[in-house]
Chains A and B, each alone.
Chain A
């Protein structure tokens, strides 16, 4: 009994978020008029849960018989997902009213999804990892199709659901094969005897199938075909949450499962990872050039960014782990901001996120254009913004570990990406404004975007603080 209490306390951010999600859905069930109460309860609850995550940070260890990690890595990732969920909720308040899906369940699903992400990233038992993955995915399937009357949204939800369920099947089959070879699903238990299984074909097949499941969730080429359609069709704030939270969760879990414990450094698995990285960087960045829709362009760019982060995972070692985590934090702020601007530009029919709609935005909404400029420059990786240091740490770690050729590909593809990111900036600032009316900006949306931009600057100007949190995490 005492054990149960201690375990619950040490996994407080996860438990707290689940309780918060349940409270929000109960408020929604009992109160039918406005969403204000759900909105504020969600925000205050998220702030409290971030506090819990900070409080639990020094409590390194594991809970529930070694199935969930506590403190350190788990707290850091939990805080990242909670910040992403909070910013998404602030951005969505006005957005869901604009597109007419103002259901209280929206907040509930985002919170439950965040709880799933935390479980996904903190699970040290493959079964717990899978439960977290499914909790996260099911919430996102529902969120993707929440605007029921828009065909593109339906298409996005169905596509995401069918392909996601298929990928979950691969993931589960991988777990089954690994369990068949090792007799345990605990990552630490597998890691102890890794030398015995390292060259067993069935174990490698299992690890490969697991990798397919992860590669689907992070949207790495060749498992990327769902990304553009789903990000374009889903409501924009949901795309923001998907591209930051879900991607960060999948990367955190991949980091935990594949590098911190499986120890595949300099083995055949690294060749596979580097192929995925190169393919993602090339396809994502080159196809993004020809996109005319900003949401679709950001989707392809997120494929490219998955490629950069895969370099860090391929290189392995403590420096690149910290680099990947740093990249996740900077990417979270940047992409939430970029999708947030797109959600404000968008009209009530969930259209109007083409490049044309950004033409001359500076003359209509100066603040919005300046913020979008910051996000675009951070995505390119211009110092002193966060995106630069993310790429810098990953590339340095890759060179130190002897993956110079991967770094060269990374630098070339980020040169390519400059074109399509800066095209948005050029359209906003140096082109005559369109006759279109200025988009409605609410105070909540402005605050969320300012927080994102501030986060980018803070992380970019003081990277040593963020890196300090990651000291000795692995």
Chain B
């Protein structure tokens, strides 16, 4: 009567019932008493610093991409290892080719300089740069009293 898909459907329905039922029972039983400490986002017990919608440094993106490179390699090598004994030389050559191509991808990243962890260069203010910063000032704002040179211009 039931096909394989029918079993999957029952499984999905049961899963939904479990999640919804658990949430519902918890909603009925638990006391509702929020305090400032409880509503804080959990950061390993420390007080959170700054907003949660922060920007990540773009350099982590490169790391993530390289991680994907090797992660995919591992995921595909596990099933390869399982059938290795059955296929023998065929599997060896196929797997070796796969790793060689991945190595080429790694080499490409390396040669293009994408593995360099670029440090931000400190921007030390110098006298000749001060002129460039002038237009950044808000118009109409009173200039600081300590810089009479700027006001005289």
| A and B part of one assembly | yes
Return the CB mask of A11-28 against B: 1 if under 8 Å, else 0. Answer: 000000000001001101
Closest chain B residue, CB of each to CB of A28: B108
Return the CB mask of B1-20 against A: 1 if under 8 Å, else 0. Answer: 00111000000000000000
How far apart are the CA atoms of A26 and B93 in the complex, in Å?
A: 22
- Flag if B5 contacts A180 (CB, 8 Å): yes
User: Is A286 an interface position by the 8 A CB rule?
Assistant: no
User: Is B104 an interface position by the 8 A CB rule?
Assistant: yes
- Flag if A30 contacts B104 (CB, 8 Å): no
On whether A180 and B4 interact (CB within 8 A), knowing A4-B90, A29-B111, the answer reads yes
Question: Could you tell me how many residues of chain A have their Cβ less than 8 Å away from some Cβ of chain B?
Answer: 11
- Flag if A22 contacts B101 (CB, 8 Å): yes
On whether A25 and B108 interact (CB within 8 A), knowing A180-B4, A180-B5, A202-B5, the answer reads yes
User: Is A1 an interface position by the 8 A CB rule?
Assistant: yes
- Flag if B90 contacts A29 (CB, 8 Å): no
Closest chain A residue, CB of each to CB of B105: A25
User: Is A192 an interface position by the 8 A CB rule?
Assistant: no
Q: Name the interface residues of A392-450: CB closer than 8 Å to any CB of B.
A: none
User: Is A3 an interface position by the 8 A CB rule?
Assistant: yes
Query: DSSP class of A's interface residues: helix, strand, loop or mixed?
Result: helix
- Flag if B111 contacts A1 (CB, 8 Å): no
How far apart are the CA atoms of A30 and B113 in the complex, in Å?
A: 11
- Flag if A4 contacts B112 (CB, 8 Å): no
Chain A residues contacting B101 (CB-CB under 8 Å) are 22
Return the CB mask of B123-144 against A: 1 if under 8 Å, else 0. Answer: 0000000000000000000000
Closest chain A residue, CB of each to CB of B4: A180
- Flag if A25 contacts B104 (CB, 8 Å): yes
- Flag if B93 contacts A29 (CB, 8 Å): no
User: Is B25 an interface position by the 8 A CB rule?
Assistant: no
User: Is B107 an interface position by the 8 A CB rule?
Assistant: yes
A450 → chain B closest CB, angstroms: 35
Chain B residues contacting A29 (CB-CB under 8 Å) are 107-108, 111-112
Q: Name the interface residues of B71-112: CB closer than 8 Å to any CB of A.
A: 89-90, 93-94, 101, 104, 107-108, 111-112
How far apart are the CA atoms of A28 and B107 in the complex, in Å?
A: 11
Closest chain B residue, CB of each to CB of A7: B90
A230 → chain B closest CB, angstroms: 25
How far apart are the CA atoms of A202 and B3 in the complex, in Å?
A: 11
A–B complex contacts, Cβ < 8 Å, 8 sampled: A1-B89, A1-B93, A4-B89, A22-B104, A25-B104, A29-B107, A30-B111, A202-B3
Other than the given A29-B107, A202-B5, 11 more pairs (CB < 8 A) read A1-B93, A4-B89, A22-B101, A25-B104, A26-B104, A26-B107, A26-B108, A28-B108, A29-B108, A29-B112, A180-B5
